[in-house]
């Protein structure tokens, strides 16, 4: 069945243009032109994906996302006109799957929509459990535990940790991590990898007093059991 996509965008011409393109691709669509209506619709459970503008009247996109994430895992792609890495990082850290900077080519948006929908579908069939020492990542349930204690991670943090754990003991360069976690066409700051490694360390290494995530100077990062 075709996916249902909610477009939350106050520029009505742009929203209409995206809607027509999505309908042309066979998706079901709906629109909201302000954050409050967008949040209400996003919470209705009728959609498979939400395209969410950041600069919106009533509630901005980041606030919509923050409230949405209290109860919903609806995949979200942020639409941002700003070139600020802060917005992108906060959006991703708050649980957006991806973002795209305006103006964008419609083909790129469509590719990201397909990727977001595919990842969501793939996540629900994975069952493998990855471990590193007492750290356990369940790819099917999307949970991470250390010695039985659950660790709350955002979508992007989870993906980064998953990538490190799949490649346990193998040093991954920032470029490889960027490509695997943020995608080939990522055009933000390259230090986003370092920022997210810090987030992971603060939630895992620092909390449990262990050293699992190692920096390999001028190369990248590796996760490995304590020696
Ligand atoms: Ca806007």
What are the backbone angles phi and psi of residue 138, rounded to the nearest 5°?
A: -100, 110
Distance (Å) from CA 110 to ligand 1 centroid: 19
Enclosing H/E stretch for 183: none
CA distances from residue 219 to 65, 214, 215 in whole angstroms, order as listed:
34, 11, 8
Distance (Å) from CA 111 to ligand 1 centroid: 22
pLDDT value at 82 more than 70 = no
Spatial CB neighbours of 180, under 8 Å, sequence gap ≥ 6:
159, 163, 172
Give pLDDT, residue 99: 84
Spatial CB neighbours of 29, under 8 Å, sequence gap ≥ 6:
4, 5, 6, 7, 19, 22, 23
**Dist. CA 189–CA 193, nearest whole Å:** 9
Give pLDDT, residue 22: 96
Q: What is the per-residue pLDDT across 95-141, written as a single tens digit (0 to 9) for each?
A: 788 888 888 889 999 999 998 888 776 555 545 788 999 999 988 77
- Alpha-carbon torsion 172, 222, 99, 76, what sign? positive
Distance (Å) from CA 185 to ligand 1 centroid: 23
Give the angle 154-55-82 at the CA atoms, nearest 5°: 80
Q: What is the per-residue pLDDT across 138-189, written as a single tens digit (0 to 9) for each?
A: 887 789 999 999 999 998 999 999 999 988 888 888 888 888 888 766 666 7
Give pLDDT, residue 72: 83
**Beta bridge mates, 32:** 8
Distance (Å) from CA 52 to ligand 1 centroid: 9
Distance (Å) from CA 95 to ligand 1 centroid: 20
Q: What is the per-residue pLDDT across 19-56, written as a single tens digit (0 to 9) for each?
A: 999 999 999 999 999 999 999 999 998 999 999 999 99
Give pLDDT, residue 183: 75
**Dist. CA 162–CA 157, nearest whole Å:** 8
pLDDT value at 226 more than 80 = no
Distance (Å) from CA 9 to ligand 1 centroid: 6
Distance (Å) from CA 11 to ligand 1 centroid: 6
Distance (Å) from CA 15 to ligand 1 centroid: 10
Rounded to two decimals, the pTM is 0.56
Distance (Å) from CA 62 to ligand 1 centroid: 12
């Amino acid at each position: 069945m075709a996916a249902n996509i909610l477009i939350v965008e106050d520029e009505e011409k742009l929203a209409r243009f995206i809607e027509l393109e999505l309908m042309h691709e066979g998706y079901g669509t709906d629109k909201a032109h302000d954050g409050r209506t967008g949040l209400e619709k996003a919470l209705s459970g009728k959609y498979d994906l939400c395209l969410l503008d950041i600069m919106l009247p009533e509630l901005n996109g980041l606030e919509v996302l923050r409230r949405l994430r209290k109860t919903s895992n609806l995949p979200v792609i942020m639409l941002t006109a700003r070139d600020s890495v802060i917005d992108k990082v906060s959006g991703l850290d708050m649980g957006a799957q991806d973002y795209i900077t305006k103006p964008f080519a419609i083909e790129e948006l469509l590719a990201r929509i397909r990727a977001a929908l595919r990842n969501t579908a793939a996540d629900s069939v994975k069952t493998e459990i990855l471990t590193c020492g007492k750290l356990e990542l369940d790819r099917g349930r999307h949970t991470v535990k250390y010695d039985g204690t659950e660790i709350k991670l955002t979508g992007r943090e989870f993906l980064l940790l998953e990538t490190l754990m799949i490649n346990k003991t193998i040093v991954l360069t920032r470029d490889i991590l960027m490509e695997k976690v943020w995608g080939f066409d990522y055009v933000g700051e390259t230090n986003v990898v370092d920022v997210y490694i810090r987030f992971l360390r603060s939630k895992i290494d620092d909390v449990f007093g262990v050293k699992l995530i190692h920096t390999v100077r001028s190369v990248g990062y590796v996760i490995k059991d304590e020696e």
